[in-house]
Amino acid sequence: MVEQIPNLPANVLGFRAKGTVTAADYESVIIPAVEAQFARQPKVRFLYHLGDEFTGFDAAAMWDDTRLGLRHLAGWERMAVVSDVEWVRAAVKIFGLAMPGQVRVFHNRELGEAMRWIAE
């Protein structure tokens, strides 16, 4: 399940994942919000919190994530991923090297710091 994080600055989209994230989560929550944000502005800041209740992604969700990222490759101004899951942290660090914007990975205990960084 994915839910949008409320009360973020207008140029920041944030999502919290719980349980297993599915393609349906991307198609009903994340993709429409991202597309609407890009319709309003050329650069987007993105916060993704994969907290203690997060258990993983299904394969179709990972594909949707990749396609969405590539579709707007030059539009990601900043991206913060908050997670203690080591494979997620490693993957974001590797793929972050190919992103033109700034990408940072935070531990769950650093969620407040991630929210400050993404908004500054």
Residues 3-60 pLDDT 10s: 999 999 999 999 999 999 999 999 999 999 999 999 999 999 999 999 999 999 999 9
Distances (CA, A) of 35 to 14, 29, 84, 85, 117: 14, 11, 28, 27, 23
Domains recognised in the chain with CATH numbers: 2-119 (3.30.750.24)
What is the per-residue pLDDT for 87?
Answer: 94
